[in-house]
Chain A
């Protein structure tokens, strides 16, 4: 029995200080209901990916709150928190609920509303994804964690600042055409290299922004789709998830992401797809180095070769493996709990042939969503017609 994405919806990603999680989530859900033909009353469950609503909006218990706001007050609702991988983990829970037969139709959404608090408070809240005592209290910031990975990677493989910056240039360029993206302006290489340092060797344009936004996918089983005469052009071929130590100091390696390797291995096996069978991918590029490490963990490149993707144009929209055609987290934005679902919204559009940066003939797509510095990772493989 196969599991399908019946429809998707998403707000634009940006700063919406006049909005709230409930408004953003409902906006994305309304679009997904319209896109899918599924009604709120049809839902067995509403799963909500969210990271810090309790700390930023003083609002916990967002599962039932947001189920109520999408017109599904009586559905089984729960929030799923896995830091920046909350969205990917939420979607995977929805898929497993349908695959197990426990549910026929599940709304898998994600939301984050960060611009209602000051930047310092938000930074502090987001830092909760790291080990508080061994990392945050020692002065290690979130960009700092990825900077440690970048430094080690550059040391091991001889990669340069320019090699990393090429990822930022590509993803900003892709965001220009995406109406859902926060930054719709190309950023040339020299601007990335000259942007202000945040944690050496990483600079401001090596990083994704802080964003608000919500994204929703409606996941249904085959029988439900047939009964409701739904268009199910997108199939969930496989999912995988794995974890690692929270603190970087407890990891086996700094120049690779073992949790992503394991998640990918499981998702590929589940889907019966090899890395070279993927036509388009959205990967978690919270920092430029993260995209490079992702490309290697997902089996697209050998270790130490991941920088080739952006530098040689292989991961450009017209390259051999387009990556982050949405603009990625760097160009499109990163409303933490929404990001993983947002990737699936983008890939659904690719598979349906209606993406603003359409990849010709895209039939198999992969999403990769990371929590913290790699302590949790989900990988999803989707197939189109």
Chain B
């Protein structure tokens, strides 16, 4: 698992998640970025990210890759945060039946032994 994502997941676990904001154009982006994807500036700084976001889209996955075998069906959601960044993660405490585009959810994380952590969203 990449160290940068491990550090990001650790911050989420501590409810100290953050994003990057561009000092030149104000665009929000996620780590690890050295250059703003919007304007090319390198003046990026960390800002705290509120843990609540809005469901943009979601899908219930029935056929998956080896890492998630035995876990289907599970629901993956794209969640947009007010700061202007979007994250991909798995829905918890709810199924695809319970969720709709526009719903508010809260960000969390699951650590997995020897694996990349999985971001999670719970109804909020």
- Which residues on A are within 8 Å of B, measured CB to CB? 120, 123-124, 127, 133-141, 143-144, 147-149, 151-152, 155, 196-202, 245, 247-250, 254
CA distance A124 to B67 in the complex (A): 10
Give Cα A210–Cα B18 distance, bound, in whole angstroms. Answer: 39
Within the complex, the shortest CB–CB distance from A95 to chain B, in Å, comes to 29
Cβ distance B54 to chain A, nearest Cβ, rounded Å: 13
Most buried by A among B65, B66, B86, B88: B88
Complex interface residues of chain B between 75 and 118 (CB less than 8 A to chain A) = 76, 78, 85-90, 96, 101, 115-116, 118
Contacts of A120 in B (CB 8 A): 65-66
Contacts of B58 in A (CB 8 A): 148, 151
Chain A's nearest CB lies how many Å from the CB of B53? Answer: 11
B118 to A199, Cβ gap below 8 A?
A: no
Report yes or no: B64 in contact with A197, Cβ–Cβ below 8 A. no
Contact of A137 with B118 at beta-carbon distance under 8 Å, contacts A196-B62, A198-B63, A249-B78 already known:
yes
B118: chain A residues at CB < 8 Å are 137-139
Q: Is the CB of B65 within 8 A of A136?
A: yes
- Tell me, in angstroms, the Cα distance from A151 to B66 when the chains sit together: 25
List chain A residues, Cβ under 8 A from B70.
none
Minimal Cβ-Cβ distance residue in B for A207: B63
A134 nearest in chain B by CB position: B88
Contact A197-B57, Cβ < 8 Å, known A120-B66, A151-B101: no
Question: Other CB < 8 Å A-B pairs besides A137-B115, A139-B67, A148-B57, 16 of them?
Answer: A124-B65, A127-B65, A137-B5, A138-B118, A139-B68, A139-B74, A148-B76, A151-B57, A155-B57, A196-B62, A199-B61, A248-B78, A249-B85, A250-B37, A250-B86, A254-B57
Q: Measured between C-beta atoms, what is the minimum distance from A205 to chain B in Å?
A: 13
Number of A-B contacts (CB under 8 A): 97
**Could you tell me if B59 and A138 are in contact, using CB atoms closer than 8 angstroms?**
no
- Asked if A144 and B61 sit within 8 Å, CB to CB, the answer is yes
Return B89 CB to nearest CB of chain A, in Å.
Answer: 6
Q: Is the CB of A144 within 8 A of B66?
A: no
Listed residue (A139, A140, A147, A201) with the most chain B CB atoms within 10 angstroms of its CB:
A139
Min CB gap A146→B, angstroms: 9
Name the B residues within 8 Å of A199 (CB-CB). Answer: 59-63
Chain A residues whose CB sits within 8 angstroms of the CB of B71 once the complex forms: 139
CB–CB B63/A138 < 8 A: no
27 residue pairs bridging A and B, Cβ less than 8 Å apart: A120-B65, A124-B66, A134-B88, A137-B5, A138-B90, A138-B119, A139-B68, A139-B74, A139-B90, A141-B65, A148-B59, A149-B57, A151-B57, A151-B101, A152-B57, A152-B101, A155-B101, A197-B62, A198-B63, A200-B60, A200-B96, A245-B37, A249-B87, A249-B88, A250-B30, A254-B56, A254-B78
